[in-house]
Amino acid sequence: MTTQKDNAPKDAVRDKRMAIIDAALAVISETGILNATVEDIARRAGVAKGTVYLYFKTKEEILVEMVVEKSGETLAAVHKAASGVSGIWEKLRAAMRIHFANIIEHMPNVLIDEGMLHLTAAHKKKLLNAKFAHVKFYEEIIAEHFAKSGREPPFSPLASALALIGGLIGYVFQRHHFKDAAVGPDEYLRTYEAIVQAALIGGETKSEKSKRK
């Protein structure tokens, strides 16, 4: 049994860690990775510059931990959303919706590319593992779907999962076009859902049909 006294300091540490990570996300969103300074992040988090280094060894570590943390949150949310519904397509759609919302909210996560930074091998691995967990999630669902349908899988579940995520994060790099065009993220998502459905599922599912009645 852990007393409150035991947890309090641990929670305080986690809180401040998360505050710094959130600050980093916010600062990067506003100024871009190239211009985000540790001082900015500290100020945003409401701590001194030196304090940041009590929680993260380097600026690089802040970025990596930010991606890992937020990717984890996203994956958890996606999992939860998918397990709340039944049916392959319903699961996929629920996952995609939450996933897309998270991608938009944590945009810098997507923009931080392993090749842009000069990460240590360990950090690079950590980053890729965090991202790959998302791929595996979709891969499993798609594989299950292909298995259930009697027909020959039209393409590999892994490639499908990668393409699916690719389409979701591709939005981020085109987001500025949406201001001019009369196409918002909602329409993008709806379109993309339809594309995926048509490609992977092939027409309406039974539950979709019954809903329409």
Q: Which residues are near DNA by CB under 7 A?
A: 12, 16, 35-39, 47-51, 53-54, 57-60
For residue 143, the minimal CB distance to a second copy (Å) is: 13
According to CB under 8 A, which residues from 99 to 138 bind a second copy? 107, 110-111, 113-118, 124, 128, 131-132, 135
Q: Is 35 in the site for a second copy (CB under 8 A)?
A: yes
Q: Return the residue matching tokens 């007393």.
A: 3
Nearest to residue 160, comparing CAs of 91, 61, 92, 70?
Answer: 92
Cβ distance to a second copy smaller for residue 45 or 165 = 165
* AA letter at 66: M
Q: Which tokens is 193 given?
A: 């859902």
With CB cut-offs between 5 and 8 Å by kind, which of a second copy, DNA, none does residue 50 bind? DNA
Nearest to residue 201, comparing CAs of 90, 84, 85?
Answer: 90
Other Cβ atoms closer than 10 A to 77 = 15
Give yes or no for a contact between 92 and 196, defined as CB atoms under 8 angstroms apart: yes
Residues that bind a second copy (CB under 8 A): 29, 31-35, 107, 110-111, 113-118, 124, 128, 131-132, 135, 154-156, 158-160, 162-163, 165-178, 180-183, 187-188, 190-192, 194-200, 202
